[in-house]
Structure 1
């Protein structure tokens, strides 16, 4: 609730300013700057990586190297 109220106060303050078109564009760019950096930092898994993971998993299954759900979740938690 406090964050929402603070954001609303900030928005009201910004609206109260007498900004030129140039200043509004500058402000918009500054506000969006952080989101662009976050988008650039997003990692994507390629189709080849996904297929390689599936292939490795199938080979493990055929070779009898499987895990229980609990083992899988422990490994998952260790990686995250």
Structure 2
């Protein structure tokens, strides 16, 4: 079958003299096929989500452990000093680290 557009396919199907039973049969077959493809796609996406590739980060921590460590350090600093980092201080720190 040569390349065919969906509109051409639909026009072809409509031009056929199908009984109501035949149209229902065709609809069921197409629906079953679509569900199988959808389920296969979901299974593929779930399997893909489980595969995590960690490369050099462009911004932020390289791992969950590093992120947790940074948050814990910030909490300790806040507890000791009684103040958090302002937006300007945070921006200056990022510029010093040359992350952007």
TM-score (norm 2): 0.38
Larger Rg: 2
Structure number with higher relative contact order (C-alpha < 8 Å, ≥ 6 residues apart): 2
TM norm structure 1: 0.45
More helix by share: 1
